[in-house]
Structure 1
C-alpha cells in the first residue's frame, strides 16, 4: 500500500513539472523567441554592414571622377587641389571633408570653404574669397579686407588700385590685433564715405593716415585733408564746397583743415600758391 502511494506521488510530481514547463513556455516563450529573432537579425545586420562597407570602399562606383569649384576669382582650382591633396580616383567614402576644408583655407585668398560629396563620384567646393578693401603698411604691404583683417602680403602679381592705410605698424598689430583692426576699419569707413562723394580722377583717394589727432586723407593730386575725429559726412560736405570755391578762383590747396574742434564749422586752407594760407573762413 505504501509502495502504491509513492508511485502516485511520482506521477503527480512529473505531471506538475510538465505543467510548470508548459506554463513557463506559455509565459516566456514569445519573449524568448523575439530575443532569438532579434539576436539573429542583429548579427545579420552587422555582417551585412561589414560586407556593405567592404564593397563601398573597394567598388569603382565611388571613385572620384570630377571636382567642381564655385566662388573663385583669384584663387585657382589647381592651387586648392594641390593644397588639399584631392585627386581623381580617391574613394568618396574615405574623404575627410573637414581636413579638405582646413587645407584649402590655407590659401591666402580663401576666406571660407565648404566641401560637399555628391555620390557616387563627384565633389563640389564652394569658396568665399577675401575682398580687398585697401593696402596696409605693416612692415610689408598687406592686403586688408573690409573687416580690417590683413589676409595676404602684397605680391608683384597683385595688380590692385586701392588706397593705402598708414599710421599703423606691425608691432602694434602683433601686440593688440583687435585695436589695430578697429583702426583700419575706421580708416576704411572714412575712405568709403569719401568715395561716395564721387571725386574726380585727380581727387581720388591715395592714402588714409591714422594719427592721434584723427584721420588724414591724401588724394592722388597730393592734397592733404585733415579730417580729425567724427562728423565724417558733414566734413566731407564742407570739403566739397571748399574745393568748388577754390576751383572757381583758380586756386589749388596743399592742406585743408577740417579738424578744428573748437569751431567745427570752420575750415583752414593752405594754398599751393605763394599766397600761403587762408584761415578762419567759415564753411557754414
Structure 2
C-alpha cells in the first residue's frame, strides 16, 4: 500500500496530522523581546545593602510618615507582660477597685432613690396602732406620749426615741415599739408590780426587786405593807446598806405571805438587820431578829394554832430567842387583853387564874419590859387611835 491513497480528502487529513506531530515535536521559535532598561539601584554607604526608596528614602521636602499602630484588645493584653508581675498585680487591684467603686455608687444611688420614695409615699403613712392597755398607761395616755401627727411616715418614726419616752413613765418597767409595714405600729408595755411601800424620808413604791420606781400618791398604797428603818441618806447616796435592808425586809415579807396569816401593815428593819413584823388589825409585833425567817414563822403558826381564838389578842411575840443546846425552842408572847394573858399563863403553869387586880398589874408591867418599841398601850381608846393615826406600830412617824 502506498503512502497516499487515491482519496484526496483522506490524503489531506493525513497530511494535517503529520504536521501537528511535527509542530508538537519542534515548537515554533518565539522572537526574543527587547530588554527593558532598568534604573540603576541606589546603594547606601553600607556595601551589599539595598535601599528601598519608597520606605527608607523619603522625598525631599516631604514630612516623614509616622506609622501609629492601632491598639486593640490583643495589643493591650500583649503589652501587659512588659510591666512585670508587680505591675500586673497593681493593674488588677486598680481594676477591681474601679469596679467596686462603680458598683457602690450605683447601689447608693438606688438606695437613696428608694428611701426618698418610701419616706414620702402615702402608702407608708402611720395609720394603725396595736396596743394592749395596762392599768396605769391607758390608750389615750399612750397616744399623747407617742405624739404622732397625721400623715407621719412610719419609716421616718424614731422607735428608740418613742421607747425612751414611754419608759420614762413612772409605772412603766419596759417598753417596746416596732413597725409592721406598711402602716402599723406595735407597742408593748410592761408595768412595775408594786410589792410594798418604802418610808425613807418620803413614801415610795418598790417592786419585787427592791427598786423604788415612784413617789407614793393618794390611793396608790391600798393594803401594801410599809418597809421602815431604811436611812434616807444611804438611799439617796446609793449605799449598799440601804439596798440590803430593803431586800431583807422584802424577803421576810415574801416568806410571811406564802401561808395565810394575818395581814401585815409594817415591816421594820433596824440598823443591825433584825426584822420585826406588825399586823394590820391588832398591831401585834412579831420579832424575828436575824437569821432564818421560815423556821421562826413556823413556830408562830404553832403558837397561833395552840391559842385558837386568843391568838387575836397577841401583842408581842418574841421569835428571836436562841435556844441553848439540848433545850426546846422557846416563844415568849404577851397579850393585849390582861385577862387573856393571865388565863394563858395559868393554863401553862397548871394553876388557877390570878385575881383580876393582880392580872392587870402583871399585864401592865409585861409590855413595858418586853415591848419598848411596840404599840403603846393606853387606857383611853381615843388616845390610842390618835397616837396610831400619825405613827406606825414601830413608833416611826408616818409623815415628816
Q: Same fold (TM over 0.5)?
A: yes
Tell me the SS of whatever aligns to 2:331. Answer: strand
Q: Which moved more, 1:150-159 or 1:258-267?
A: 258-267
- What is the CA–CA distance in structure 1 between the aligned matches of 2:53 and 2:159, rounded to whole Å? 82
After superposition, the C-alpha distances for 1:109-145 in whole angstroms (9 at most, x for unaligned) are: 1011111011111111111110000011122211100
Once residues 116 and 125 of structure 1 are traced to their aligned partners in structure 2, the CA distance between those partners, rounded to angstroms, is 7
Taking CA–CA contacts closer than 8 Å with sequence separation of 6 or more, which of the two structures ends up with the larger relative contact order? 1
Aligned pair in 2 of structure 1 residues 61, 196: CA closer, same or farther (>3 Å)?
A: same
Structure number with bigger Rg:
2
Call closer, same or farther: CA 1:48–1:27 in 2, change over 3 Å: farther
Contact 1:135 1:144 (8 Å CA) reproduced: yes
Query: 1:251 touches 1:273 (CA, 8 Å); kept in 2?
Result: no
* 1:255 pairs with 2:316: yes
In the aligned structure 2, how far is the partner of 1:121 from the partner of 1:249?
66
Listed one character per residue, the Cα deviations across residues 64-104 of structure 1 (whole Å, up to 9, x for unaligned) are 00122237232223223323423443111111111111111
**CA distance in 1 between partners of 2:76 and 2:56 (Å):** 24
Alpha-carbon displacement from aligned partner over 1:38-59 (angstroms, at most 9, x marks no partner): 7665554333322211111111
Q: Residue 57 in 1 paired to residue 119 in 2?
A: yes
Distance change in 2, residues 1:140/1:37 (3 Å): closer
Corresponding position of 2:135: 73
Which residue of the partner structure matches residue 276 of structure 2? 216
SS at match of 1:125: strand
> What's the counterpart of residue 225 of structure 1?
286
Q: 1:185 to 1:23 in 2, by over 3 A?
A: same
Q: Secondary structure of the equivalent of 2:209?
A: coil
The alpha-carbon distance between structure 1 residues 26 and 115, as it changes in their structure 2 partners (threshold 3 A), is farther
The equivalent position to 1:125 in structure 2, one of 187, 190, 202, is: 187
Q: 1:252 to 1:38 in 2, by over 3 A?
A: closer
Hey, what's the Cα distance between the residues in 1 that align with 2:149 and 2:239? 38
Offset of 1:18 from its aligned partner? 4.5
Closer, same or farther in 2 for the Cα pair 1:123/1:24, shift >3 Å?
same
Unaligned runs of 5+ in 2: 1-42, 45-50, 58-65, 81-91, 343-362, 370-400
What is the aligned residue count? 273
CA distance in 2: counterparts of 1:222 and 1:97, whole angstroms: 50
Aligned match of 2:264: 205
Aligned to 1:4: 52
TM-score for the superposition, normalised by structure 1: 0.82
Cα gap change, 1:59 to 1:20, in 2 (>3 Å): closer
**Cα gap change, 1:269 to 1:149, in 2 (>3 Å):** same
For 2:209, which of 122, 147, 154 is the aligned residue? 147
210 and 50 in structure 1: CA distance in 2 versus 1, 3 angstrom threshold: same
Cα gap change, 1:50 to 1:259, in 2 (>3 Å): same
CA contact (8 A) 1:137 1:169 kept: no
**Bigger mean CA deviation after superposition, 89-98 or 121-130:** 89-98
Distance (whole Å) between structure 2 residues aligned to residue 76 and residue 47 of structure 1: 44
CA contact 1:71–1:129 (8 Å) conserved in 2:
no
Aligned to 2:238: 176
- 1:45 and 1:176 map into 2 onto residues whose CA distance is 52
SS of equivalent residue, structure 2 residue 304: helix
Residue pair 2:316, 2:333 contacting (<8 A) in 1 also: yes
Contact 1:147 1:181 in 2 (8 A): no
CA separation of 1:8/1:85 partners in 2, compared to 1, >3 Å: closer, same or farther? farther
Seen in structure 2, the aligned counterparts of structure 1 residues 34 and 143 have a Cα distance that, compared at 3 Å, is closer
> CA RMSD, aligned part only?
3.5
